[in-house]
Amino acid sequence: MKISEFQKLIKDIYIKRDLNRGINGTFIWLIEEIGEFAHILRNKAIDEKNASEELADIIAWTNSLANLLEIDLESAVSKKYPGICIKCKAKPCACEK
């Protein structure tokens, strides 16, 4: 699924709830999901099922924010990450480590 397709799916399903919650409330939900993911990463044995679910939630909430801000995420990602390192212009990145 393309980023634009997923963003539209999230908008079609959740836009009414997202609008009612607003940008700040939606951002707080995103941060909570990031916190849940951080908690998973703190364990020595990472639960891959839970980690994948939390990453999916993070992507979904990010798309909800983009919808509220009227940002086309696919376009934004393509511009920010054009297939090469934006600093050294190499692929793979050859910047100092």
Q: Please report the domains of the chain, with CATH numbers, ordered by start residue.
A: 3-80 (1.10.287.1080)
With the C-alpha atoms ordered 48, 50, 55, 59, is the resulting torsion angle positive or negative?
positive
18 versus 44: which is more confidently predicted?
Answer: 18
In this prediction, residue 89 carries a pLDDT of: 92
- Which residue is it, tokens 């920010």? 80
Q: Rounded to two decimals, what is the model's pTM?
A: 0.90
User: What average pLDDT does range 25-42 have in this prediction?
Assistant: 97
32-36 LR contacts (CB < 8 Å, sep 24+): 33/57, 33/58, 33/61, 34/58
What average pLDDT is seen over the chain? 96
In this prediction, residue 96 carries a pLDDT of: 83
66 — pLDDT class (breaks 50, 70, 90): very high
97 — pLDDT class (breaks 50, 70, 90): low
